[in-house]
Homo-oligomer: A and B are copies of this chain.
């Protein structure tokens, strides 16, 4: 990754900049500003109003998204486009109150999608006013995951700022009762089911094996040793943490089940679920043998480099993601109902429990989630009056459960990539890319060209 980043810097002269923005766009009492970071690469940009591809940063350090969105770099030359990567407030270096940003609910009060979209709008207007030759540049929003939701919502709410949006793996319908709460984990399960005989069944059986072992101190000790845990398990509650950690690991593997060696959430081999499933062929093994295999499987995810001396349950993915900020967002606007039943999925059954979430959020942050607000704000499934949004989804990606996978209108278009995991299409071209993602990218570029052409024509 570092090498790739260096390469970008050399080839594209990536510039890191900051702009002062209002901390509160929607109120006038506090007139404070903060510095939002954004990255610009204009090597391929055609000066007289060539297009701008604008990455709507999501919950993490923007340089990391910049490194993992090779698609934009790949098409910059073809579109004569400037690339801009805007960091989302409260992540990376764009902290409204510096080290105090997460100190309490007062300081966190401005961490919302609406404020982030307003940041993007003001930034783009600033760029168009200050960069010579950019005044009439058509801007296209691009984002993946939460960034994809932001890209779609940005086009919906600020169509005067962006002529279109590519929303990759954006689960804009994972809210309220728009989709079944179990669909997400059922896709994870399918990924494992088709990656090896006995695989999903082994995982399904592992939960009770852990339950049985964690009922005794000796069992807890055995689990701690077997899983090479940095902090040993001491109680049944710790065993629940272990199970959550394992669940998250399977979910993450489903998200990054890419067809080639990659380092997104963790460094991993090609088709990592197939690799993991090689350890999980026999679901009928005894508890201890089964769980030793489960360890081999998760060890592949956490320790592919072989450097970890122990496994730390407090981290499941790259540190570039801003966990704290995202937890707050999940406790306020981003309430995404999820559930498992152990039948259609390989997880322990767990109902969606909004009240428990609300209590937890109040305990952690002193805030209560508002589960219907996102629907009121962004329209739920009733979005047909908008235009120029491409929603791309990976068939292997659990987030496709809440994504737009069927065309809504001629200009609200869904692209499904059957062999794709989480926003595979946003990654750099790779010789091992399946045909489906190549076609998806070609179609995405085709739509982008249409939007640019139309904007030129209108101007």
Give the B-binding residues of A (Cβ under 8 A).
22, 25-29, 31, 105-106, 108-110, 112, 114-115, 118, 121-122, 125, 157-161, 332-333, 366-368, 370, 372-373, 376-377, 379-380, 382-388, 458
Q: How far does the alpha carbon of A159 sit from the alpha carbon of B26 in the complex, in Å? A: 20
A27 touches B377 (CB 8 A): no
Pick the contact of A458 from B108, B332, B384, B387 — CB < 8 Å? B384
Q: How far is the CA of A382 from the CA of B332 in the complex (A)?
A: 32
Most B CB contacts (10 A, CB to CB) among A125, A333, A385 go to: A385
Distance of A3 from chain B, by nearest CB (Å): 39
B residues near A25, Cβ cutoff 8 Å? 373
Alpha-carbon distance between A208 and B157 when the two chains are bound, in angstroms:
50
Q: Which of these, B106, B157, B376, B384, contacts A122 with CB under 8 Å?
A: B376
Q: Is the CB of A376 within 8 A of B28?
A: no
Which residue of chain B is the closest to A459 with respect to CB atoms? B382
Contact A385 B387 (CB under 8 A): yes
- How far is it, in angstroms, between the C-alpha of A376 and the C-alpha of B124 when the chains are bound? 10
CB contacts (< 8 Å) of A384 on chain B: these are 458
A160 near B383 (CB under 8 angstroms)? yes
In the complex, what's the smallest C-beta–C-beta distance from A158 to chain B, in angstroms?
7
Least Cβ–Cβ distance between A141 and chain B, in angstroms: 14
Please indicate which of the listed interface residues A22, A27, A367, A372 has the most CB atoms of chain B within 10 Å of its own CB: A27
Instruction: Specify which chain B residues have a CB less than 8 angstroms from the CB of A158 in the assembled complex.
Output: 379
Tell me if A118 and B377 are in contact (CB < 8 A). yes
Chain B hits for A157, CB < 8 A:
157
* Interchain CB contact under 8 A, A29 and B106: yes
Docked-complex contact A376 and B109, CB < 8 angstroms? no
Among residues of B, the one whose C-beta sits closest to the C-beta of A375 is B125
* Chain B residue, CB-CB nearest to A382: B160
A-B contact pairs, 9 of them (CB 8 A): A26-B114, A27-B112, A29-B106, A29-B109, A118-B377, A125-B372, A160-B385, A384-B458, A385-B388
Query: Which residue of chain B lies nearest to A121 when distances are taken between CB atoms in the complex?
Result: B376
Additional A-B contacts beyond A29-B108, A29-B366, A31-B368 (20; CB < 8 A): A25-B373, A26-B114, A27-B109, A28-B108, A28-B367, A28-B370, A29-B109, A121-B376, A122-B376, A125-B372, A125-B376, A157-B157, A159-B385, A159-B386, A160-B379, A160-B380, A161-B376, A161-B379, A384-B458, A385-B388
CB-based closest 9 A-B pairs:
A160-B379, A160-B382, A29-B109, A159-B385, A28-B367, A28-B332, A27-B109, A29-B105, A26-B26
A331 to chain B, nearest CB (A): 8
In the complex, residue of chain B having the shortest beta-carbon distance to the beta carbon of A114: B26
- A25 vs B28: C-alpha distance in the bound complex, in angstroms? 15
A315 to chain B, nearest CB (A): 27
Query: B residues within 8 A CB of A114?
Result: 26
Q: A105 contacts B368, CB within 8 Å?
A: no
Q: Which residues of B contact A366 (CB under 8 A)?
A: 29
CB neighbours of A376 from chain B (8 A):
118, 121-122, 125, 161
Bound Cα distance from A157 to B31, whole angstroms: 25
* Docked pose: A190 CA to B89 CA in angstroms: 50
Question: Which chain B positions have C-beta within 8 A of A386?
Answer: 159
A28 to B368, Cβ gap below 8 A?
yes
Of chain B, the residue at the smallest CB distance from A155 is B385
Closest to A411 in B: B385
Distance in angstroms from A424 CB to nearest chain B CB is 30
Measured between C-beta atoms, what is the minimum distance from A108 to chain B in Å? Answer: 7
The smallest beta-carbon distance between A18 and chain B, in angstroms, is 19
Task: List the B residue with the shortest CB-CB distance to A122.
Answer: B376
A26 to chain B, nearest CB (A): 5
In the complex, A11→B110 CA distance in Å?
47
Q: Which chain B positions have C-beta within 8 A of A159?
A: 379, 385-386
Q: Is the CB of B385 within 8 A of A110?
A: no
Nearest-Cβ distance from residue A410 to partner chain B, whole angstroms: 14
Bound complex: CA A112 to CA B122 (Å): 18
The complex places the Cα of A332 from the Cα of B108 at a distance, in Å, of 23
CB distance from A252 to the nearest CB of B (A): 28
Of B110, B125, B458, which one neighbours A27 at CB under 8 angstroms?
A: B110
